[in-house]
C-alpha cells in the first residue's frame, strides 16, 4: 500500500483533462449515460473526468475535491456501472458510501437511486434519528447501495443487520468533515470490517495527516485525483455585485419583497435553509404577484423537472430553493442570487453566488442578514477576500420614488409606441371641462395606483457591535478553515477519536476552538456519567441542525451536563433541533446556559 505523494509511482491525474467529452465516452454504462442526459447532465465536470476512468478500472482513488464539484456522480456512476444490471447480492449490499450528515446521506441516496434506476439498482439512506426497525426491514429486503452516516452504519454492523462480506466498493465522502465531527474511530472500525478485496474511494476537500494515514492503511496503490480551484480571470469577480441588507428577522419577508421590487431581477434564485422556509416564501411571494416556484428535496423528480423547465423557459421569475436541491443546477440567465439567510460558511456562499454573473453577464448577490449575523458576513469577506457592501433596506419613500420612475418609463414607452388616436377624442372632450395638465396627472395617478400599495416602514438597524464577554480569539491571526493549521488548532484526536481539545484545570475534556462569530453557550442535560462525548454533540448538532462543524465552538463535558458554543444567530434553531431528536439514544434537556455556567 502506498501513500499518494510526490514519491508515488502513480502520477496524479489532472482534473482538467478534456479528452472525454461525454459520460458514455468515459465508459459509463450507456443506459446510465442516457438517463443522465434526461436529468440535464450535459457533460462531465473536472472531478468526474478524472475519477471515473480509474474507478471503472477497479482502481482505488484518493480525490481532493471541494463540495459542489460533482463528487457524487464521480464515485457513484463507475461503481454502479461495475455492479451491472440485474446484480443483487442476497446477503448484503455491493456498495457502502459513508457520509458525515443525515442531509447528505439523503441527498446522495436520492442521486444514486436515480443514476441506478436504468439498471434496476436501488439505494438506501441509513442515518441516526430515523427508525432503526424500518432500516433493518429495508436492509433485509435487499439493497444494492447503502449510504450511511458512520455512527448508524456501525450500529447496524454490530447488530449484524448490515452485512459487509458482499461489498465490492466502499466510498468515504467528505472524509475530512467526518473526522472533524469525531468519527475517526467509527470509520476505522468499519473499514477494518470490510473485505480486503473491495475497491475503495476516498473524497475529501483537504488532506490533513489523519486522512493521509487512513489512505496509507486502507487504499491500495490509489490514483491521486486533485481538482484545483478554478482560476478566476482578473476583474471577473467584479461582475457580481455583492450587497447585504441588515434587517431584523421578523421583517425579512417584506424586506425581500421590497428589495426585489427595487432590483427588478429578470431571473433570480432565492436560497433558504429548510424545505418549510422554501414553501412558505414561495407562497408569500406568489401572493404578492411574483411568479415564484419551490425547489427542494421533498419534490418528486417529475415535479423538479417541471419547475426547472419553467425556470429555463423564463416562465418563472423566482426559484426558491434549498442548497441540496440546487446542486448541479446550471442556468446561465440568472441575474440575481439571494441568500434569505447568511450561509454558515464561505464555501456555501461562493457556491451560491457563482450561479449569477455567468457567460460575461453582470450579476447581483443579495444577502439578508440579521444584526447579530454581522460576524458571519465578516468571516465570509475574510475567506473570500471580497468586499460585501452593507446597505439599509429601501424605505417607503425609496420604493415610491422607484415606482414613479417605472411609471415615467411606462408612459414614455406608450408615447413612443404611438397608436393613440382612439384615445384623443376622450382627452379632447374632457379638455373642455378640465385643465390638460390635471387630466394628465389624473391618468398618471391611475397608472401608479396599479403598482402602489400599503407599505409599512421597516425598522432601520445597524450591525450589532462586537460584545464584551464574547469568546476570545485572535481574529487577525485565525487560520483559514480547511488549512492544516486551522484543523490542527482544533485539537488532534489521537486514537480515541474524542480529543477535540485538551484537559482543563478541572480535568474536563474541553474543545479548544477559535470562533469568528458571536457565541451563544447552550446547556445540555447529559454528561460524562451518560458517556457523552464531544463527538456525540458535534454529530447531533451537525446532523439535526445542519450547522457546519467549523461553526461549533468550545465544548465542555461535566459529570451531569455538557455545554457547547454555537453562533448566536443559530442558537434557537440548534436548541429546537436537539429537543426533537435523541443524543446517544436519549431525549435530553437543551437550553441556553444560565449564569454563564
Same domain, 174 and 245: no
Does residue 137 belong to any structural domain of this protein? Answer: yes
Could you tell me how far CA 501 lies from the centroid of its own chain?
27
Same domain, 297 and 326: yes
pTM above 0.75, yes or no: no
Q: How far apart are CA 569 and CA 580, in angstroms?
A: 19
pLDDT of residue 319: 92
Number of structural domains the chain divides into: 3
Same domain, 155 and 266: no
295: CATH: 3.40.50.300
Written in H, E and C, the secondary structure of 189-230 is: HHHHHCCCCCEEEEEECCCCHHHHHHHHHHCCCCEEEECCCC
* Cell triple for 590: 437543551
Same domain, 379 and 505: no
Q: How far apart are CA 564 and CA 543, in angstroms?
A: 15
Q: By C-alpha distance, which of 196, 145, 192 is closest to 173?
A: 145
Q: Domain span at residue 108?
A: 13-226
pLDDT of residue 97: 97
Could you tell me how far CA 379 lies from the centroid of its own chain?
17
Same domain, 141 and 203: yes
Per-position DSSP letters for 365-396, written without gaps between them = EEEEE-GGGHHHHHHHHHHHT---EEEPPPPH
Per-residue pLDDT of the chain (597 residues), as tens digits, is 333 343 333 334 444 444 446 888 999 999 999 888 777 676 788 889 999 999 999 999 999 986 667 788 999 999 999 988 555 555 689 999 999 887 788 878 888 988 998 888 889 999 887 888 889 988 998 899 999 999 999 999 999 999 999 999 999 998 988 887 788 889 999 999 999 999 999 999 888 888 889 999 999 999 999 876 444 444 444 478 899 998 887 788 888 988 888 888 888 999 988 888 888 899 888 887 888 999 887 788 788 888 888 888 888 889 998 876 666 566 767 889 999 988 877 777 887 888 787 655 678 999 998 877 777 788 888 877 888 988 888 887 777 777 777 777 777 777 777 788 888 888 888 888 888 888 888 877 777 666 555 566 776 665 544 333 333 333 333 333 333 333 333 333 333 333 333 333 333 333 444 445 678 889 999 888 888 888 888 888 877 776 766 678 888 888 888 999 888 878 888 888 888 788 877 888 898 887 544
Same domain, 139 and 285: no
The domain boundary, picked from 200, 226, 252, lies at 226
The domain boundary, picked from 186, 202, 226, lies at 226
Q: How wide is the angle at C-alpha 391 spanned by C-alphas 389 and 395, nearest 5°? A: 160
Does residue 585 belong to any structural domain of this protein? Answer: yes
Count Cβ neighbours within 10 Å for each residue of 559-584 and write b for 16 or more, e otherwise. eebbbbbbbbbbbebbbebbeebebb
Same domain, 184 and 247: no
Same domain, 307 and 356: yes
Handedness of CA 270, 276, 280, 286 (dihedral sign): positive
Same domain, 555 and 510: yes
Residue 124: which residues within 8 A CB-CB, separation 6 or more? Answer: 93, 109, 135, 138, 139, 143, 145, 146, 147
Query: Order of strands across the sheet with 501-503?
Result: 501-503, 509-511, 555-557, 562-567, 519-524, 590-592
pLDDT of residue 455: 62
Does residue 372 belong to any structural domain of this protein? Answer: yes
Does residue 447 belong to any structural domain of this protein? Answer: no
Does residue 425 belong to any structural domain of this protein? Answer: no
Does residue 479 belong to any structural domain of this protein? Answer: no
Same domain, 170 and 276: no
Same domain, 48 and 194: yes
pLDDT of residue 361: 63
Same domain, 115 and 222: yes
pLDDT of residue 325: 62
Residue with cell 397608436: 419
Does residue 476 belong to any structural domain of this protein? Answer: no
The domain boundary, picked from 226, 252, 270, lies at 226
Amino acid at each position: 500500500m502506498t501513500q499518494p505523494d510526490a514519491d508515488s509511482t502513480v502520477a496524479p491525474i489532472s482534473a482538467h483533462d478534456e479528452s472525454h467529452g461525454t459520460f458514455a465516452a468515459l465508459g459509463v454504462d450507456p443506459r446510465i449515460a442516457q438517463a443522465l442526459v434526461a436529468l440535464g447532465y450535459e457533460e462531465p465536470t473536472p472531478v468526474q473526468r478524472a475519477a471515473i476512468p480509474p474507478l471503472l478500472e477497479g482502481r482505488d482513488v484518493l480525490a481532493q475535491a471541494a463540495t459542489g464539484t460533482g463528487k457524487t456522480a464521480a464515485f457513484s456512476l463507475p461503481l454502479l456501472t461495475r455492479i451491472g444490471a440485474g446484480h443483487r447480492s442476497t446477503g448484503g449490499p455491493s456498495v457502502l458510501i459513508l457520509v458525515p450528515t443525515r442531509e447528505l446521506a439523503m441527498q446522495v441516496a436520492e442521486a444514486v437511486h436515480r443514476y441506478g434506476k436504468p439498471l434496476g439498482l436501488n439505494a438506501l439512506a441509513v442515518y441516526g434519528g430515523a427508525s432503526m426497525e424500518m432500516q433493518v426491514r429495508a436492509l433485509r429486503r435487499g439493497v444494492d447501495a447503502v449510504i450511511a452516516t458512520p455512527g448508524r452504519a456501525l450500529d447496524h454492523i454490530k447488530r449484524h443487520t448490515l452485512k459487509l462480506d458482499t461489498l465490492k466498493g466502499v466510498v468515504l465522502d467528505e472524509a475530512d468533515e467526518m473526522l472533524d465531527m469525531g468519527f475517526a474511530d467509527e470509520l476505522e472500525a468499519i473499514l477494518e470490517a470490510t473485505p480486503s478485496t473491495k475497491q475503495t474511494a476516498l473524497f475529501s476537500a483537504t488532506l490533513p495527516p489523519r486522512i493521509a494515514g487512513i489512505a496509507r492503511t486502507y487504499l491500495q496503490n490509489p490514483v491521486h485525483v486533485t481538482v484545483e480551484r478554478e482560476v478566476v480571470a482578473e476583474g471577473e469577480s467584479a461582475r457580481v455585485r455583492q450587497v447585504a441588507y441588515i434587517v431584523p428577522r421578523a421583517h425579512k419577508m417584506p424586506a425581500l419583497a421590497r428589495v426585489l421590487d427595487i432590483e427588478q431581477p429578470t431571473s433570480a434564485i432565492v436560497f433558504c435553509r429548510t424545505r418549510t422556509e422554501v414553501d412558505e416564501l414561495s407562497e408569500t411571494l406568489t401572493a404578492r404577484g411574483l411568479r415564484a416556484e419551490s425547489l427542494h428535496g421533498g419534490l418528486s423528480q417529475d415535479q423538479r423537472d417541471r419547475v426547472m423547465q419553467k425556470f429555463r423557459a423564463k416562465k418563472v421569475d423566482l426559484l426558491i430553493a434549498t442548497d441540496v436541491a440546487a446542486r448541479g443546477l446550471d442556468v446561465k440567465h440568472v441575474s440575481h442570487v439571494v441568500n434569505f439567510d447568511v450561509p454558515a460558511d464561505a464555501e456555501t456562499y461562493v457556491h451560491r453566488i457563482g450561479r449569477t454573473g455567468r457567460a460575461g453577464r453582470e450579476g447581483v448577490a443579495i444577502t439578508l442578514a440579521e444584526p447579530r449575523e454581522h460576524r458571519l458576513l465578516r468571516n465570509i469577506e475574510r475567506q473570500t477576500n471580497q468586499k460585501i457592501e452593507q446597505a439599509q433596506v429601501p424605505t417607503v419613500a425609496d420604493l415610491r420614488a422607484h415606482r414613479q420612475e417605472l411609471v415615467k418609463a411606462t408612459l414614455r414607452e406608450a408615447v413612443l409606441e404611438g397608436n393613440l388616436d382612439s384615445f384623443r377624442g376622450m382627452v379632447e372632450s374632457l379638455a373642455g371641462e378640465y385643465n390638460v395638465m390635471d387630466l394628465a396627472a389624473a391618468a398618471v395617478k391611475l397608472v401608479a395606483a396599479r403598482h402602489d400599495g400599503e407599505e409599512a416602514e421597516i425598522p432601520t438597524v445597524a450591525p450589532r457591535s462586537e460584545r464584551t464577554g464574547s469568546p476570545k480569539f485572535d481574529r487577525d491571526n485565525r487560520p483559514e478553515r480547511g488549512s492544516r493549521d486551522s484543523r490542527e488548532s482544533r485539537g488532534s484526536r489521537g486514537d480515541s477519536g474524542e480529543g477535540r481539545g485538551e484537559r482543563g484545570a478541572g480535568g474536563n475534556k474541553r474543545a479548544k476552538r477559535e470562533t469568528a462569530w458571536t457565541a451563544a453557550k447552550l446547556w445540555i442535560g447529559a454528561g460524562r456519567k451518560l458517556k457523552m462525548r464531544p463527538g456525540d454533540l458535534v454529530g447531533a448538532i451537525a446532523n439535526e441542525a445542519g450547522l457546519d462543524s467549523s461553526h461549533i465552538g468550545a465544548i465542555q463535558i461535566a459529570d451531569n451536563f455538557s455545554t457547547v458554543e454555537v453562533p448566536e444567530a443559530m442558537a434557537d434553531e440548534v436548541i429546537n433541533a436537539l429537543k426533537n431528536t435523541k443524543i446517544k439514544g436519549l431525549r435530553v434537556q437543551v437550553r441556553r446556559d444560565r449564569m454563564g455556567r
